[in-house]
Structure 1
Amino acid sequence: MKRTLLEVTVSETDEDRDFWATRQWARDNVEGIRKAEIIVVPWIDFRKDAEVLFPQGTTDFVRSLQEALPIVVGVDRSAYAEVALYANTKRLPAIFVTSLMLPALAGALGNILSEQVTGSQTAEFIEMRLIVENQGAPCISVEYKGPPGRAVDTLLDYIERCVPGPTATVGDNNVSEKTKSK
């Protein structure tokens, strides 16, 4: 039996701030989306019959994040819906974040996931997606499916490889000479 133990997908995406602010289901929240540094956004490619879905438990996840950071949920309350998927996997909603707020978000996510790992109902795997906005460059989407204990470090590692900026410093091996001179 073949079983995937870790999967990370990194790609450019056109799901920038303007994309999220112009969705029909976000029309009552446009100003908040345009100003926010961290936006919890729905899964938009999950099911064809439902444009807006969040994984079960998103409400609790958002409350935990809001204890540490100012965040916005990128849908109108009337459009909000959660879907339950049964497996030994903890699924988190997609998160849009500016590269400047990425370190703060990573810290908060690390704390939340640490509680999940040590909790009584530990998930064997975690699925999550970060969309990172980097000023003057295309957004980067990083999807992670794997063990919860290394999720944040793995996400940051891949983001640093693709997004020069506050998560990478000039001395890092991940930043090319071409990037350093810009």
Structure 2
Amino acid sequence: MKLHDVLPVDHRLSRIYRAGAGLCGAALLVFGCLGLAHGLSFFSTHGERIAGLSSNGLLSLVSVVTALVLVGGALVGGNVASTVNITVGALFVLSGFVNLALLDSTANILAFRIQNVLFSFVMGLVIATFGMYGRVSGKLPLDNPYWSHRHPRAAERDGAPALAGGTRPAGLPGGPA
């Protein structure tokens, strides 16, 4: 069973995934556009301050591209937005660790400073949390397709409601084989 086939388009979790991707994408878009508008040098390892963070042209461009990916995920919604949020959030945290190791070196091509590293960790956790909401938490409601997928016998026993189009998850009576 593929969960992207199960989550109804209008499921309430989709609003959370979309809101998280849209808000974080908008913040990154503003940061990236401010950096590009200042005409920053693309490969400066020292960078200039933009909105309290160090930036260069390359970091501004990466921020705009990342923002467009998040906004694209928000426009599509559903599991796509959730997966985009989780992936981008994980990449932000990974970027924080990599750039922490590169501080004060000539390989610091994104002109990161410690504020950028902290921002990367916090933003990554925020974005990933939006994406994981309702997917990995305990106490999921019975109408949650992720809960039904993980607990098919309990879903059948407790009478979890049918999903979009009256279908049931695979392996349950009335569901696809």
Give the TM-score of the pair, scaled to structure 2.
0.33
Q: Larger strand proportion, structure 1 or 2?
A: 1
Q: Larger helix proportion, structure 1 or 2?
A: 2
Give the TM-score of the pair, scaled to structure 1.
0.32
